[in-house]
Amino acid sequence: MSRSEKAEATRQSILDRGQMLVLQKGFVGVGLQEILKASGVPKGSFYYYFPSKEAFGCALLQRYVEGYLAQMDQLLAADLPDGRIRLMRYWSAWLAGPEDPARGWAEDCLVVKLAAEVADLSEDMRRVLNDGVAALVARIAGMIAEARADGSLPAGAPPQALAQMLYQMWLGAALLTKLSRDRTAMQQAFTATEALLVCPGPQAATPNFSGGRS
Amino acid sequence: MSRSEKAEATRQSILDRGQMLVLQKGFVGVGLQEILKASGVPKGSFYYYFPSKEAFGCALLQRYVEGYLAQMDQLLAADLPDGRIRLMRYWSAWLAGPEDPARGWAEDCLVVKLAAEVADLSEDMRRVLNDGVAALVARIAGMIAEARADGSLPAGAPPQALAQMLYQMWLGAALLTKLSRDRTAMQQAFTATEALLVCPGPQAATPNFSGGRS
DNA sequence: AGTAACTAGACGACCGGTCTATTAATGATT
DNA sequence: AATCATTAATAGACCGGTCGTCTAGTTACT
């Protein structure tokens, strides 16, 4: 392994452990020391890899967003019967990942965990996350458009607006799930999503959704 | 002013300033020192008023939730034409408060700001916030039920489920607004809410499609 | 061998939450 | 009304951790 390859590996290792820790303790809640110790990297080396904690945060978010979008692209490229199924598979992933059925994307979502914190903390970090979300929503909108094109979804609200609305609903559901430790909010979001997708424009009637929360 | 009255006033002052600071810097992001200085209370006095920072956090959340629910009850008691208008006035408050039209409840919402942070930080704080949200959603559900009773809203999904779904949508919208600094997400939530409320009821004609998924 | 890439950890200034000792104010007892 | 006991409130030290800097040292490629 070449010198700079190893350096890159170290950098990634810091980012890896950092992501785990940030996910459970928040960005300001976790210290450099802790991240470094967990990565087996000495304290002093940090500022060789990153100019500041904030820059580290940006890199972390950037990497996360890229990974997320890559997973989405993989989903987009998958050979599935139709667009509607493809779209619904995306939402299913929030509930349960392919590997661990008990741990969906929602639990590991940095947007859920960091959006509120980062928005007031660092303009740079905010922008990285915000751009990521925008790209994400655009892809959802694309999926909706495709599903309509192949006839698996009916026409309705503009894809961009619908995508945004669905995403924010899921975001809220994930947040409430985190707070309540009860996943029914997410299951309800799933049901609501199905209903909303087949829902015509604002003026027309909307099909019912039935989600249960005791 | 009696001795203990003054003490209570001091306590409230700490809670007041604390809420402002926590709202913009997060719970771990703000230090006792800063809060105390802003309240004009000497540092050493903190542990006279609160047994710990966590207990302070619980008191903060408790007070916030109580205030929020009180505002809702005020709205519920208001003399308005019908239940639907009452409900929509509640959602309007998210967008713009009665005093400051540019600053709705969303911007000052501790649930938006703290839910993700607190959920992993302190079980006690988590529970206070979660119970508050549950009470809040119950009130929304109540409003829906009333609006249906007076005929201003059509029958539809169970009030509790609908209330929860709407609340999480608004939560997500507020989070995204914080992140993007763009209030269109909130306005969109408003439109979506109006559409969702007039959804037809559980259709006997339509088999429940959450069970019959391919 | 020379030079760049990388590691190492001590160090600084400051801030975190917590605790103990002390002063200030009050109410009770003579 | 003067003293005392008790409580309210404060001051400041405490230890550990924060981010960030700096310089000396080690490793590896040219």
What's the rounded mean pLDDT across residues B134-154? 97
Q: Which residues contact B31 (CB under 8 A, 6 or more apart)?
A: none
CATH number reported for the structural domain that contains residue B33 in this entry: 1.10.10
Question: A199: which chain B residues are within 8 Å (Cβ-Cβ)?
Answer: 195
| Tokens read off for A104 | 């969906």
Nearest neighbour of A179 by CB, restricted to B26, B129, B178: B129
Evaluate whether residue B211 is within a structural domain: no
Q: What is the pLDDT of residues A63-86, one digit of tens each?
A: 999 999 999 999 999 999 999 999
Burial class (CB in 10 A: 0-12, 13-18, 19+), B202: middle
Same domain, B14 and B69: no
Same domain, A26 and A79: no
**Ordered DSSP codes for B84-108:** HHHHHHHHHHHH--SS-TT--GGGG
CATH number reported for the structural domain that contains residue B119 in this entry: 1.10.357.10
Amino acid B205: pLDDT: 33
Nearest neighbour of B195 by CB, restricted to A28, A126, A202: A202
Evaluate whether residue B212 is within a structural domain: no
Q: Which of A180, A182, A184, A193 to mutate to test the interface with B (most CBs of B within 10 A)?
A: A180
B24–chain A Cβ distance below 8 A for any pair: yes
- Domain carrying residue A122: 54-205
Same domain, B45 and B58: no
**pLDDT averaged over chain B?**
88
Evaluate whether residue B213 is within a structural domain: no
CA dist A202 → A86, A157, B137 (Å): 25, 7, 24
Put simply, the answer to whether B198 touches A208 (Cβ < 8 Å) is no
Question: Is a pLDDT exceeding 80 seen at residue A164?
Answer: yes
Same domain, A61 and A150: yes
Same domain, B83 and B115: yes
What's the rounded mean pLDDT across residues A163-181? 96
Half-sphere exposure of residue B129: CA atoms within 13 angstroms, side-chain side = 29
Put simply, the answer to whether A175 touches B165 (Cβ < 8 Å) is no
Q: Cβ distance A193 to A95 under 8 Å? A: no
Same domain, B45 and B15: yes
> Cα dihedral sign for A164, A170, A172, A175?
negative
Q: Cβ distance B197 to B170 under 8 Å? A: no
Q: Which nucleotide is nearest to A6 (CA to C1')?
A: C6
What's the rounded mean pLDDT across residues B188-197? 91
Question: Is a pLDDT exceeding 90 seen at residue A88?
Answer: yes
Q: What is the pLDDT of residues A17-72, one digit of tens each?
A: 999 999 999 999 999 999 999 998 888 889 999 999 999 999 999 999 999 999 99
Which amino acid is residue B133, in one-letter code? V
Evaluate whether residue B210 is within a structural domain: no
- Give chain C positions with protein CB within 7 A: 5-11, 15-21, 25-27
Closest CA to B165 of B132, B193, B142: B193
Q: Residue B204 — pLDDT band, cuts 50, 70, 90?
A: very low
Question: Is a pLDDT exceeding 60 seen at residue B1?
Answer: no
Separation of alpha carbons B47 and B56, rounded Å: 10
Same domain, A35 and A73: no
Q: What is the pLDDT of residues B3-49, one digit of tens each?
A: 566 778 889 999 999 999 999 999 999 999 999 999 999 988 999 99
Which amino acid is residue B187, in one-letter code? Q
Q: Cβ distance B140 to B163 under 8 Å? A: yes
